[in-house]
Amino acid sequence: MASACAVHILVKTQQQAMEIKALLDKGGDFAALAKKYSLCPSKKKGGNLGEFRRGQMVKAFDDVVFKRPILKVHGPIKTKFGYHLIKTLYRS
């Protein structure tokens, strides 16, 4: 079964996600921005979700983590929780 490790930032609006992504594109620190803005409890760890298996996250999130290029920020990705910026650190 495939597994991966990802970091993310979860916010309520697409607009806020776009603003944070712009900061990341300018070289902003992902962990610092996650701690400041993310609504997910993972923000304490800089948005790090640790390692998880395919199927443990909602489908839209899973699709990014397991199908898109790693070490690149993807998003905003809409789920029932809000809008995510997702960066996959590795997958196996």
Phi, psi of 37 (to 5 degrees): -110, -25
Say how far apart CA 51 and CA 66 lie, in whole Å.
12
Can you give the pTM of this predicted structure? 0.96
pLDDT at 65: 98
**CB-CB contact of 91 with 81 (8 Å):** no
For the chain, list the strands marked E by DSSP: 3-11, 48-53, 73-79, 82-91
Length of the chain: 92
pLDDT in tens, 27-50: 999 999 999 999 999 999 999 999
Q: Which residues of the chain have pLDDT under 70?
A: none
In CATH, the architecture of 3-91 is Roll (3.10)
